[in-house]
Structure 1
Amino acid sequence: MTVLTNRALNRAALARQLLLDRADLPVLDAVTHLGGLQAQEPQEPFIGLWSRLHAFAPAMLDDLLTGRQVLRTHLMRGTVHLMTTADPLAWRSRHNAMLRQRMLGVYRADLAEVDLDELAAAGRAVLADGEPRARPDLARALLDRWPSAGHRALGEMLVTALLPMVQIPPRGLWRAKGGARNVLLADWVGREIDPLDEDPTDPVGQDLLRRYLAAFGPAAPADLRAWSGLAGLPAAVAALRPELISFRDERGRELLDLPEAPRPDADTPAPVRFLPAFDNAILGYQDRTRIIDDEHRNLSVAGERVVLVDGRVAATWKSVEGTVLVTPLGKLAKADRTAVATEAEQVALFLSDKESSRVKFG
């Protein structure tokens, strides 16, 4: 079985994540290919798409959000993702049990006296008028019935786990302010969520696996689990295995992949890229060493924006009043520093809409 080095895996990941070359794709196609972008910080997907697409303009994503072609919803790992409308409709039922368990892991004691099915039904009754509601407002409407639970536990469980919801615009629009207001997913898109398919071959799981490998492969089932939050999808892996090819990484793990997916040469040049906070190019793997050193593994979990140099995380960055501040994690070669500064200037222009930009190194 062929062994793929970390550098070869890095180049494959960059190619799948549209970070090796900016893609000439419509925004909707890019969001589809990526299986969504993690988006609990509402402005971060704009940076993620700008770094991946030629000629990306924020209005392109705004139009898709207001046109209900993409939406913001809790799904993979229980986090907010920007996704095409079709994907959460198809995938949500497969994620329901995981979402419940994750929320119970936090609020089990608070919800000890709450029947979750009754809570879900009560939440739907409150939302039946179609009015968008912030999470605290929804929880307060039910607090008299379950006073011992507390509004935070009620609200989190309803919005994140029990009821498939959408955070509606202006939340998530370019430079929009304001908190999240939620409506039921089915009401927002005018279509019911696909029921959980009990077929043992697990067609929904197979779709998730194919889509994951297209955007993240080659990868192990543990990586799929880290991205989705689901328990490895063993039935889907078994059913698809005859269609897949296998490699090993330097740790000896078996990696699965789609036969025709891109796997560039390990020496393919990789340009500097500025990634947003919580980017799935990092968080979408259990073993993240293909793109970030273990000592820096938690940077993205902590919400740091990072800079890729030669395909790997080499700095953090932030934007303050039109100035991009770059903090290298180690010494940068002169040529790399120049390349980082050049890309930082473009990031600053994108974020500020000013005719000039400033870059500082920390």
Structure 2
Amino acid sequence: MTTKPMTTGSSAPVAAGQVLDRRSLNRALLARQLLLDRHELPALDAIEHLVGMQAQAPTPPYIGLWSRLAAFEFDELATLLTERAAVRMVLMRGTLHLVSARDALALRPLTQVIMDRYVRTGNGRDLSGLDVPAVEAAARELFKEPRTDKEMRALLAERFPDGDPELLNWAARTVIPLAQIPPRGLWGKGGLASHITLEAWLGRSLDTETSLDRLVLRYLAAFGPATVQDAQHWSGLTGLGEVVERLAPELVTFADENGRVLYDLPDAPRPDPGTPAPIRLIPDFDNLTLSHADRARIISEEHRKRLFTVNGIIRAAVLVDGFVHGTWKHEKKRGVATVRIELFEPVSEADRTAVVEEAERLLAAAYPEAKSYEVEFI
């Protein structure tokens, strides 16, 4: 089954007042997140359909694509990054995302207001006395070449001897659109993060014709049906109510079980709530669990507290019947690749077997050179 980005049509009927329960929203989300079936899509097409993948750590996007695509090989994403067809950079919510080069240029102008707000308010830092425009101008020149944080702190300290090098570097990295370049982000590779201006890395200018309308429509295609608050939670932007109001003639509306208005594309998939959902292993920080103000469609509040840690880590999730039912970790030591699984509640023997089989498939894909594979329940 091949998934393409959804389109809209203004002539579609409005389903105002129709209530979509939790399972209905769950199956709609899974379908749009390419998790009801593994899809025959190139990785770059999937990344664009998903409007990027959160990439706070280097490896989760590889697993996220493997869980969604039928023929994904880890080298495919590594090639996209090294050939500059895909980029790791700060976008939605002010967090690091993996996006196509085209989306990097289109989305950063829309999300720049988030970064500007961080610098304007300090985001918990004391920026009093800091000449941000001067720092930005100097840093833009320096970032025309790849720089590590250590290098930038030293270079900015030379130019602004009275400033705090850490604060100078933070302000520069926040306000300037930067790409985090390979080998950072390549499966199995380490090393310090190094940044360069996005335009220098891609050899192209930012897209000045991009629009918030298009962004909201793409969000609905990948995460809908959704409320205005959901779209704002995913993007980190405010004021999207005006955008949705402008788009209203192109959308259909529903209600959730709490009476909140949900907006959607007329021709987007909304599977029957009884549609079977396969076992899936979702990586750390996956947008599946991060992109709605109300996450009940994918995880209960009780389980959310076990998935979201107090220090901002979002653990990898086990999906059983479409909902988060546990966490998992993977590692390779001394030639043995292992997945360790912690289920929040007991599952059927069939589901437990399916979890093991999915974990074994992941290990074979991620660590083909391993001597052996193990799956453990803790």
Confirm or deny that 1:308 pairs with 2:324. Answer: no
**Residue 224 (structure 1) aligns with:** 231
**Residue 184 (structure 2) aligns with:** 171
**Residue 9 (structure 2) aligns with:** none
Preserved contact between residue 135 and residue 156 of structure 1 (Cα < 8 Å): no
Secondary structure at 1:357 match in 2: strand
Uncovered stretches (5+) of structure 2, i.e. residues with no partner: 1-16
Confirm or deny that 1:183 pairs with 2:169. Answer: no
Please point out which of 346, 353, 364 is paired with 1:349.
Answer: 364
Question: C-alpha displacement at 1:140, in angstroms?
Answer: 2.2
**Residues 172 and 109 of structure 1: is their aligned pair in 2 closer, same or farther, counting only changes over 3 Å?**
closer
**Residue 284 (structure 1) aligns with:** 291
Please point out which of 48, 63, 69 is paired with 1:32.
Answer: 48
Confirm or deny that 1:158 pairs with 2:172. Answer: yes
Preserved contact between residue 199 and residue 205 of structure 2 (Cα < 8 Å): yes
Please report the TM-score for the alignment, with normalisation by the length of structure 2: 0.89
**Residue 247 (structure 2) aligns with:** 240
**Residue 22 (structure 2) aligns with:** 6
**Residues 149 and 306 of structure 1: is their aligned pair in 2 closer, same or farther, counting only changes over 3 Å?**
farther
Uncovered stretches (5+) of structure 1, i.e. residues with no partner: 198-202
Preserved contact between residue 214 and residue 261 of structure 1 (Cα < 8 Å): yes
**Residues 332 and 108 of structure 1: is their aligned pair in 2 closer, same or farther, counting only changes over 3 Å?**
closer
The separation in 1 between residues aligned to 2:119 and 2:27, in whole angstroms, is: 36
Letter in 2 for 1:97: V
Query: What is the 5 A alignment of 1:55-134?
Result: 55-103=71-119, 105=121, 107=123, 109-127=125-143, 130-134=144-148
The separation in 1 between residues aligned to 2:239 and 2:357, in whole angstroms, is: 41
Over the aligned positions, Cα root-mean-square deviation in angstroms equals: 1.7
Confirm or deny that 1:331 pairs with 2:338. Answer: no
Aligned length: 353
The separation in 1 between residues aligned to 2:327 and 2:268, in whole angstroms, is: 30
Letter in 2 for 1:39: A
The separation in 1 between residues aligned to 2:98 and 2:320, in whole angstroms, is: 26
Question: C-alpha displacement at 1:103, in angstroms?
Answer: 4.9
Residues 124-147 of structure 1 deviation map (CA, whole Å, 9 limit, x = unaligned): 1223xx321012321321124445
**Identity value in percent:** 46
Preserved contact between residue 119 and residue 175 of structure 2 (Cα < 8 Å): no
Secondary structure at 1:359 match in 2: strand
Please report the TM-score for the alignment, with normalisation by the length of structure 1: 0.93
Secondary structure at 1:287 match in 2: coil
